[in-house]
Amino acid sequence: MLKGFKQFILRGNVVDLAVGVVVGAAFTTLVNATVKGIVSPFIAAIFKTPDFSGLSFTINGSQFLYGDFLNALISFLIVATVIYFFVVTPINLLITKTKKSSATADPTTKKCTECLSEIPIKATRCAFCTSKLEIKDGK
């Protein structure tokens, strides 16, 4: 029973997921510190209030707390922006740079001028329609 559990825990996907969760928690701390230390004071300087949770309106005795929604929306947009510009964009750039540039290989086939079939580039006669082909520049 413990052998199966050990195999499950040491499986690559579980370890990768655990690392992702730990890194995600650390990244959340970093993003929250950025929001609290930089973005919230910036919002307070513009709107004269760093927190919108007190904003509400009442209709027929029902209170609508749209300020909480604004706080959640701003937090979401900030987190999405930070993740996009500081994680997704650099990763995409890194992946693009590390991919080997696929050099365009010389073509190995050409189209027959009569039947438009693909034939070897050095062929002098089409294998499909048997028409004689012109050879241009050794091709």
HSE (side-chain half, CA atoms, 13 Å) at 26: 6
CA distances from 106 to 25, 37, 42, 120, 124 (A): 50, 57, 57, 12, 18
Give tens-digit pLDDT for 62-84.
Answer: 999 888 888 788 878 877 887 88
Give the domain ranges of the chain: 2-98, 107-139
Residue 139 — pLDDT band, cuts 50, 70, 90? Answer: very low
Closest to 58 measured CA to CA, from 69, 47, 66: 66
Instruction: Output the six-digit token pair for 121.
Output: 């580039």
pLDDT of residue 65: 87
Q: What burial letters (b/e) apply to 87-102, b meaning 16+ CB within 10 Å?
A: eeeeeeeeeeeeeeee
CATH code that applies to domain 2-98: 1.10.1200.120
Tens digits of per-residue pLDDT, 84-100?
888 789 888 888 888 76
pLDDT score of 60: 92
Asked if the model's pLDDT at residue 110 lies above 80, the reply is: yes
Q: Is 90 helix (H, G, I), strand (E, B) or coil?
A: helix
Task: Tell me which long-range contacts 50-58 makes (C-beta under 8 A, separation of at least 24).
Answer: none
At 6, is the secondary structure helix, strand, or coil? helix
